[in-house]
Amino acid sequence: MAIVAGLAVMTLTSCSSSHEVSADDPIFVGIDHRVAEEVLASTAVKERTQGDDEATTKMQLQGIALNFVLCRQAYAAYREWVTTGTQPSLPRPVRVQQPIRAAYSQYRRDRQMFGEELASGDIDVLRSHLLNDTGCGVWIPAKPGDQSGPTIADAVRGS
């Protein structure tokens, strides 16, 4: 499903709770608005947060949005490495205005791990991470907003 530009507010409502989170929520300030919209529109994300209380939902959503950004940055670095043969690095980290401790701490650990994989000089280490059955590559769409298209892992397999 493509994200429609100009969509005013997208919300995620858990079936067993009455709270809503929009792409304009303070937990997303510092994250590209389109990523927040994509996360909130994702069926997989809705399933992962269904039934959670508001604080847990917000923590999960911030963490997932950060994970989308980081995984796509790692995938872009992988593609650059494959294409140019030059070992890349990750862009500057995302700085959210209101970091939720558990979500942002996990983002920092994951970012460090991807950075170490890039610094290893072995592209297969990064490739393996993007293909890992429990990693971000298996469920995050390679093309932003394309929930029915290939995942990052699918795209890596095809490269």
C-alpha closest to that of 57 among 22, 26, 21, 29:
21
Average pLDDT over residues 24-44: 95
CB atoms within 10 A of CB 99: 17
Average pLDDT over residues 20-30: 95
Distances (CA, A) of 81 to 38, 90, 108, 136: 27, 12, 22, 19
Instruction: Report pLDDT digits (tens) over 38-85.
Output: 999 999 899 989 999 999 999 999 999 999 999 999 999 999 999 999
Burial of 95 (0-12, 13-18, 19+ CB in 10 A): exposed
Q: Are 65 and 142 in contact (CB under 8 A)?
A: no
Instruction: Report pLDDT digits (tens) over 109-130.
Output: 999 999 999 999 999 999 999 9
Position 88 scores a pLDDT of: 95
Position 15 scores a pLDDT of: 38
CB atoms within 10 A of CB 77: 22
Residue 13 reports pLDDT greater than 80: no
Instruction: Name the average pLDDT for the chain.
Output: 88
Q: What percent of the chain has pLDDT over 70?
A: 87
Distances (CA, A) of 73 to 80, 94, 95: 10, 11, 15
pTM for the complete prediction? 0.86
Dihedral sign, CA of 60, 133, 77, 149?
A: negative
Indicate the domain borders of the chain. Answer: 11-78+86-158
Residue 12 reports pLDDT greater than 90: no
Position 20 scores a pLDDT of: 83
3 state SS of 127? helix
Q: How far apart are CA 8 and CA 94, in angstroms?
A: 24
Position 19 scores a pLDDT of: 60
Q: What is the dihedral angle through the alpha carbons of 86, 90, 91, 96, rounded to the nearest 10 degrees?
A: 170
**Amino acid found at 156:** V
